Amino acid sequence: MKLNKMFLPVLAGSLLAGAAQAQVNLTITGSTSFRSITFDRVKSLFDPGYTSDGNFGTGPGTYSGTMSNSVPSLGPTPVTVRLSFSGSAAGMEAVDAGTPVPTINPITGTTNNVAPDISLSDVYPESAQPPLDSSDFEQAIVGVIPFVWVRNNALTGITNITREQAVLLMSSSGIITNAGQPVFGMPASFLAGSSTNPVYLTGRDSGSGTRISVHKDIGYTGTSPRMWGLDSLGNLVLTNGYSSGGSERTVIANNANVIGYLGVADAGAISASATQIAYEGVPFSIPAVQNGAYPIWGYEHLVNRTSALSDNQTQIRDALIAALTNQEFQTTNTLYTVNFVDQANMKVKRGTDGGTITSLSF
């Protein structure tokens, strides 16, 4: 009896250790364009009573709780999902290489670095720079993401940009100094604007799926577009691009002679001071994307390393894919409808970023 009593604490400790090991952890990174959607859909998987910590506007943020309703096989197993967004290409690279990203510890609320398991991406792995091997990943398409060209309202007269103009703008925007003399780039009048002042292009950094997708869609093959941003005094200076659409839209909204490309939500946020323009004579609209008339769009992907997830992590991933692609969500929830194009009504497809658009029915 004494021996049995001695074993009871050991057995209890073993059971507690087993319960602790049952915890499921999943870390998600990637596309800032799909950030709000991912926060919302991850939250929807948790049972009532979940806890959260962090910044759910820009991240990182963490949810903890159970998922017995959305993933019944998990039952009362505790689940923690960490979310930290750094851009499409950067996110896929982090998943591929196991590079840690900053996350929120759900117990202490402090920042710690964790290798991500899943990335959301606006582009295919092959479009990252340097390209990633698609065979490294399991992939699912979870949305259609359009982009628009936007110009400051002071650039009057500009209502459209062609493919050739967009490509030229990448290397010829703004004004620089050569041997002490100003060298002017593309004037607004080249885009049918009413001014002869140079147009300043702003945009995203090289890890951004928005930048990669737009470059692919217009056929720009260079690696160093001439883009402009703001210094600490608010002056336009050459830049390598911004890590978020929010930063880019601020430049467009507050500076005359600036033009750029944005996700639809970011463009809408500055509609009082900036205007969307057509591409190749076609204004953006959801039907124009769905019928193939408007070509500046890509797919939103969810990727993880092939065979790298545990069974429990795979079940959570599959539940997240189902939540992201739910037709009712994509057609009625404003988080999705004001930013993206629902998949169910797409009449066209493309096999690569910037690839030929073909019909789904003939």
Per-residue model confidence (pLDDT) at position 207: 86
* Same-domain pairing of 128 and 165: no
Tokens of 9: 């604490």
Of 250, 273, 290, which closes a domain? Answer: 290
Backbone angles phi, psi at 152, to 5 degrees: -60, 145
Do residues 178 and 285 both lie within one domain?
yes
Judging by beta carbons within 10 Å of its beta carbon (0-12, 13-18, 19+), is residue 224 exposed, middle or buried? exposed
| Residue located via tokens 């720009």 | 220
What pLDDT, on a 0 to 100 scale, did the predictor assign at position 12? 46
Indicate if 219 and 312 belong to the same structural domain. no
Q: Judge if 267 and 228 occupy the same domain.
A: yes
* Pair (150, 170) in one structural domain: yes
Q: What is the mean pLDDT of each run of 10 residues along the chain (362 residues)?
A: 43 44 91 93 98 94 98 97 94 97 94 97 93 97 97 97 97 85 90 94 93 96 94 92 93 96 95 98 98 97 98 98 98 94 97 97 91
The total number of structural domains that make up the chain:
2
> Is 12 domain-assigned?
no
Question: 338 and 274, same structural domain?
Answer: no
Examine residue 332 and state whether it is found in any structural domain, yes or no. yes
Q: Looking at the structure, do residues 150 and 286 belong to the same domain, yes or no? A: yes
Q: Residue 246 maps to which CATH number?
A: 3.40.190.10
Q: Is residue 198 part of a domain?
A: yes
Centroid of chain to Cα 164: 26
Which pLDDT belongs to residue 13? 45
Q: Which of 235, 233, 230, 277 is CA-nearest to residue 249? A: 230
For residue 6, being part of any structural domain is answered with no
Specify whether 280 is located in the same domain as 170: yes
- Give 175's strand partners: 184
Distances from the Cα of 37 to the Cαs of 85, 266, 278, 286, 309, in angstroms? 12, 14, 26, 18, 22
Determine phi and psi for 317, rounding to 5 degrees: -60, -45
SS3 191: helix
Partners of 161 in the beta sheet? 279
Look at the alpha carbons of 46, 50, 55, 60 in this order and tell me if their dihedral is positive or negative. negative
Has residue 139 been placed in a domain?
Answer: yes
Separation of alpha carbons 7 and 222, rounded Å: 69
**Domain's final residue, options 239, 270, 290:** 290
Classify residue 9: in a domain, yes or no: no
Angle at 261 between CA 227 and CA 165, to 5 degrees: 75
> Long-range contacts: 341-345, Cβ < 8 Å, 24+?
341/143, 341/144, 341/145, 341/146, 341/286, 341/289, 341/290, 341/297, 342/144, 342/286, 343/141, 343/143, 343/144, 345/290
Closest CA to 59 of 246, 269, 255, 248: 246
Kindly state whether residues 333 and 349 are assigned to the same domain. Answer: yes
CB–CB of 42/28 below 8 Å?
yes
State which of 256, 290, 324 marks the end of a domain: 290
pLDDT at 181: 83
Tell me: do 256 and 337 sit in the same domain.
Answer: no
| β partners of residue 183 | 176
- For 131, the domain range is 22-143+297-359
Any idea how long the chain is? 362
Answer whether residue 248 is part of any domain: yes
Q: Give the global pTM.
A: 0.88
In this structure, the answer to whether residues 257 and 162 fall within a common structural domain is yes
Q: What angle do CA 332, 338, 342 make, to 5 degrees?
A: 55
